[in-house]
Amino acid sequence: MILAGDVGGTKCNLALFAKDGPLLRPVFQLRLPTRDYAGFDDLIGDFLKRAYSTDSSAGRPEIEAAGFGVAGVVVEGLLHAGNLPWVLDGTAIGRKLQLNKIVLLNDLTATAVSLEYLSCADFAILNEGVPQPNATKAVIAAGTGLGEATLHWDGQQYRVAPSEGGQAEFAPRGELEIQLLTHLNKHLPQVSCEEIISGRGFRRIHEFLNPSVRHDSFDTPEGDSAREITRRGLEQSCPVCVESLTLWIEMYGAEAGNMALRTVAFGGVYVAGGIAPKILPKLQDGSFVRAFCGKSKFAEVLARVPLSVVVNENAPVWGAAYQALSHCKS
C-alpha cells in the first residue's frame, strides 16, 4: 500500500493506493481542511483512522512508502511552505508511520511527475501547437499560491526540476497593470507574481478596479471571495467581476508565456492547479492563449508551443504516489 497526498494551504487531498503490478489503484481518498489540524501528524492520523474505519472487517494494510507533494521548498528533509501553518519533517513523519521510505516533494514536482500517468481525458487543449520530441516541458499552477516546474529529457526519461518562479517580481505589461502594481506596492512589501496570480489575487484586482463594489464574501472571515468573483465573472452577473477575471487570466497567460521562454518549453506547457478547471470556459475563449503568445518577436514561436489545462485535480496525489512507489523499487 502507498500513502500519498497533495498538501495545500487550504485543503489536503490524501489517498491510499494499492499496487497493481507497475501501476497504482486508489482504494481510499479524502480531502481534509488544512487549518483544522495543529500539525501534519494529526492530519495523517485522522485520515488513516477514517480509512481503516471504512471496512472494519479487513485487516490493516501495510503501508510500504509515502509521498507528499507540498507547495514549498525541501531543505535537508524539511519542507518549508509559506502557505501552510506548519513545517513538514520527513523524519518525524517516518516515525509516525513507522516508515523509512518517505518522499517530500514540491507539489508542482508531483504534478509534473504525474503527467505520464494521466489519460487524454485529464487534459483540455488550449493550443495544439507543434510539439518537439523530447523537448523541455513546463508546468504552472495557480491555486493558494503560484507554482512552477520544468521537465527536462535526460536521454531516456524526463527529469523534473522544481522552481520558485511564482515568488519572482510581477512584471506589468501595460498602463492598467502598471497602475495595479503601484496600487499593490502601497499595501505589500513585495508584489510577486503569486500575490496576483493566485486565489487571493482576484479580490485584490477587484478592489483595485472598483473599491466601491463589494460582495458578501468580502466582509466575512470565512468568505471565499475568489470563488464568488470567478462565479460572478463566468455568469457575467457583475461587470467588475467580469473585468477582474479577464485581467487575471491575461496576467496568468502572460506569466505562462514568460515561463515558456525562460525554459524553452517547446515540448508543451501544462496549466495545473485548483483554479484552472473551475474557470475552464474562460480559459478557452482565447484570451489566455493571446496573452501567452504576447506581442514580442517570439510571438510566432510561442504560438507553436502546445498548451493544455490539467483538469484532473488529483494529479499531484498521483505524482506523489508514483514517486513514493519508485522508492519501493530502490
Report the top-level CATH class of 2-113+314-328. Answer: alpha beta
The three-point CA angle 108-226-11 to 5° equals 45
**Strand order in 123-127's β-sheet?**
123-127, 307-310, 268-272, 137-142, 146-153, 158-163
CA–CA gap between residue 199 and residue 306 (Å, rounded): 25
Euclidean distance between CA atoms 187 and 205, whole angstroms:
13
Chain region(s) in the chain for CATH 3.30.420.40: 2-113+314-328
Backbone angles phi, psi at 80, to 5 degrees: -100, 120
Q: Provide the residue-wise pLDDT of the chain in tens; the chain has 330 residues.
A: 999 999 877 789 999 999 988 899 999 999 999 888 888 888 998 999 999 886 654 556 789 999 999 877 776 666 666 667 777 777 888 888 888 888 888 889 999 999 999 999 999 999 999 999 999 999 999 988 899 999 999 999 999 998 888 999 999 999 999 999 999 999 999 999 999 999 999 999 999 999 999 999 998 877 899 999 999 999 999 999 999 999 999 999 999 999 999 999 999 999 999 999 999 999 999 999 999 999 889 999 999 999 999 999 999 999 999 999 988 765
**Confidence at residue 226, expressed as pLDDT on a 0 to 100 scale:** 95
Burial state string for 118-141 with b = 16 or more CB within 10 A and e = fewer than 16 = beeebbbebbebeeeeebbbbbbb
* Cell 489503484 sits on residue: 25
C-alpha cell at 78: 524539511
Handedness of CA 157, 162, 168, 174 (dihedral sign): positive
What's the confidence (pLDDT) of residue 57? 46
For 21-74, give the DSSP string.
TTEEEEEEEEEEEGGGSSSHHHHHHHHHHHHHHTTTTSPPPPP-EEEEEESSEE
Among 200, 249, 210, 84, smallest CA distance to 192 is for 200
Q: What angle do CA 299, 301, 304 make, to 5 degrees?
A: 110
3-state SS class at 236: coil
Numbered ranges of CATH 3.40.367.20 in the chain? 122-311
| pTM (2 d.p.) | 0.90
The domain 122-311 having CATH identifier 1.10.3720.10: the answer here is: no
pLDDT recorded at residue 151: 97
3-state secondary structure of 249: helix
C-alpha cell at 98: 513507522
pLDDT of residue 73: 72
Taking CA atoms, 20 is separated from 16, 54, 58, 192, 227, in Å, by 13, 21, 19, 43, 38
